[in-house]
Chains A and B, each alone.
Chain A
Amino acid sequence: MKKIIVMVKQVPDTANVTGESMKEDGTVNRAALPAIFNPEDLNALEMALEIKNLTGAEVTVITMGPPKAVDILKHSLYMGADKVYLISDRKFAGSDTLATSYVLSEAIKFLGKYDLYLAGRQAIDGDTAQVGPQVAEKLDLNIISYVQNLIEIRDERIVVEKDSDVQTEVISGRIPLLMTVTSDANDPRYPNSLNMLKHFRSELQTDIPDENKSRYEKNGWVIPVLTIDDLGIDPDKCGLGGSPTKVHKIKSIVLKGGDFTLFENNAGGVMGLVKEIVKDYSGEN
């Protein structure tokens, strides 16, 4: 195992939703929701760093997002990532999972070949769990999704536990391989003090004034930014234009107490459930 790449995402902190989280028009009020490191991406990065400890592999982290996403790249460096890249371009805005996986897979192709490709199972904003598998498809990689435990790494093989909801599968895969990781896999480490010292001054290459460029480069404080032009990819496949998913309508739903009913797992319960559904559909009260 020599090279690992981890795909991460900055997301609004949907776990701490308050009354101000949605605007009147039903869109997300980003100001009221702090941007955080997508939790399961932290598990993916932790797994990469555990493998780094075992094998000495180099860990690269990439994210597609606005310049503000530099925060999670710096956090990755503090945890122990070796290299980070921001994939950023105005034309990426509004990408759905198809467009995102296109950009990410092209960025990975641009950066080179890796032995292991990791991502969190899903992001807490969209909750699709699609981007990881789509990147695997586009890069023609085998994939193990829902990895909940790393069992061992032996030469070219990696053995993991996959969470299949009703059962746990133990799967052995040969690298190169893409895996998506769940929150059960590990406890992400805290930032390391020396890594913070090395990188607290790191900045996006686009934010560094010219007179500081050489010093930043010498000290390894430059975080590279890759744009559409750098990657030489098709703008029509990126952003809103490259996204077949269209949001039809957004409704702001506020759940009230008593909005759910629990049905017992027996014949009577099933009958109750059927009646409830019929009632719902027919609009009876």
Chain B
Amino acid sequence: MGNYFNENRKFLLKFINIDEVISELENGFNENGPESLNNVEEAWKWYGMVLDNVGKIASDFIWPRAESVDKNGARFNDGDVEWADGTKENMNILAEAGLMGGTLEKKYGGLNLPLVINNLIIEMISQADASLMNLFGLQDIAVTIQKFGTEEQKDRILPKFATGEVSGAMSLTEPDSGSDLQTVKLRGIEKDGKWYLNGVKHFITNGSADVHLVLARTEEGQNDGRGLSMMLYEKDENLIVRRIEEKLGIHGSPTCELQYNMAECELVGKRRFGLIKYMMSLLNGARLATSAQALGIAQAAFEEAVKYSNERIQFGKKIVNFPAVYQMLNRMEVEIETSRLLLYKAALAVDEYEMFEKRAARGEIARPELKKAATLSNFLTPLGKFVCTELSNSIAYDSLQIHGGVGYIKDFPIERLYRDARITNIYEGTTQLQVVAAIGAVTSGFFFNLMRDTLDVNISSLKGEKEQILRFVIEMEDITSRVKEIDSKEFLDFVANYLIEMASVIYRLALYLPVAEKFPEKRELFKFFLTDSKGKSAYFVSRITALIENYGSEIGVLKDTFLKN
């Protein structure tokens, strides 16, 4: 009997303050009924029970099925998609446990959880079976309808999501429109007061779902993002699933090619806002969820590495005793711990933005405050995805390395984890696109203010360490302004990932500083990360400096070797 809601996950929750968010979600604790929460303590008690339950389900029910789900995968029979048996059982158990509407409002049968909590649920489920998250996480479809749909649409669809009676699909990608969604071609056609979808989508997770949100071109002649609207489609005979893809990993999640044949649908929200507003909101939710998925895989890979290195004996001792091995384990632990705190913080930023949005709607706060919350969540979401999905890959890589030859064959879970991790830094926006989304906050100076705010805490035992982090900030600020002086977008784009990596390191240091200050047993881990970061920071500064000196705005010449006519 295991439980993924372990001490470490509980411990880090203490370092984010979501009490205000909870109060807003629960309407200021002013309601009185059997399902109303009356104060923050009650909320935490119940969240704890929910998380504990998920921790047990993930560990005792889902994990034992992960191998067979991976082996059998989702199947395609005569135009129909069938989940693997284990996937079906998993989805049933999660629905029975009432977890299919994590952030839906209670009136729709949802749990009305803060994103921080819901994201932790996703992380634990992903640790047990990453592919399950792709189906479980499609609750985001319902959340998007909750945000932008009409009352009638919400009443009709959301309760079915909350009970698990229906599942969703997010239908965006087309063969020629991947990262560049502005070029989507699938048509949304209005005829006699009704809307129809006509065209093809591909790489659609769970494309045979009952409820789709489809990005469609409704404005003929308008060929950019402003010609796109978001359509709600409920499956009927006018949808054809043409095939499902054979993928490297996440075999439990069917990836479909879809053809909509004048399939009747409804508009969600306003025309033309499909991509620029609604889908961006949906994608941001999906990015947080993918970060949690990646972190879950990383946790599983780390635990497998610890387990195996204690079982395997070579040269007369457990391999965990070899410095080359425990060095890797040490890095994994530090990366996971600090990134988890970053992800909690990113989810909190989205929670807070939504709280401010509601307050702004009531006229309680001013525009600038809302804008600041938006900037923070629009920075931390891609930063979190950048960090978590890349570390998921590198940790799975190292864990497989620790397993040696047996890691490469299918006898141990690590080869599955290794394959599953590989998609996380590709879908819902590649790592490279996360850099594009995050870099603005660095060049605008927002990030450096955020760093100073974050470091504005009382520190007594780790004063020197705090000074060191401040020096990193100054170093980075300095190199950033040197990059800006070049005044070349090409150059900035070239070094943007270096800057974002630096930002991810020093921000995690700043977040973790109060943890290490308060808990002496965490200091070693913190100091290890700090020392490691010193090297990283110096490396990036010298790398960028060399690029400035050697190329500057001429950086484009580097592509000449590869560019074919």
Residues of A within 8 A of B (CB): 189-198, 200-201, 215, 219-221
Contact = CB atoms under 8 A, between A and B. Distances in A.
Contacts of B93: 189-190
B35 A190 contact: no
A165 B560 CA distance: 79
B474 interface: no
A219 B31 CA distance: 12
B450 interface: no
Interface in B173-216: none
B267 interface: no
A193 B33 CA distance: 16
A198 B49 contact: no
Given A193-B97, A196-B53, A215-B32, 11 more contacts: A189-B97, A190-B56, A190-B93, A190-B97, A191-B49, A191-B53, A192-B98, A193-B111, A196-B49, A197-B37, A219-B33
Contacts of B111: 193-194, 197
B405 to A, nearest CB: 36
B203 to A, nearest CB: 32
A189 B34 contact: no
Interface in B46-84: 46, 49-50, 53, 56-57, 61
Interface residues of B, number: 21
Contact of B96 (A189, A220, A221): A189
A196 B57 contact: no
Contacts of A193: 50, 53, 97-99, 111
Nearest to B93: A190
A196 B46 contact: yes
Contacts of A190: 53, 56-57, 61, 93, 96-97
B49 A200 contact: yes
Nearest to A195: B98
Nearest to A202: B34
B97 A221 contact: no
A197 B35 contact: yes
B25 to A, nearest CB: 13
Given A190-B97, A191-B97, A196 B50 contact: yes
Contacts of A194: 35, 98, 109, 111
The 7 tightest CB contacts between A and B, nearest first, are A193-B98, A219-B34, A192-B98, A194-B98, A190-B97, A193-B50, A196-B49
A50 to B, nearest CB: 11
16 contacts: A189-B93, A190-B56, A190-B93, A190-B97, A191-B53, A191-B97, A192-B96, A192-B97, A193-B50, A193-B99, A194-B35, A195-B98, A196-B49, A197-B111, A215-B32, A219-B33
Q: Which of A189, A195, A196, A201 has the most CB of B within 10 A?
A: A196
Q: Which of B34, B35, B57, B93 has the most CB of A within 10 A?
A: B34
A197 B56 contact: no
A220 B98 contact: no
Contacts of A192: 96-98
Contacts of A191: 49, 53, 97
Nearest to B121: A193
Q: Which of B45, B53, B93 has the most CB of A within 10 A?
A: B53
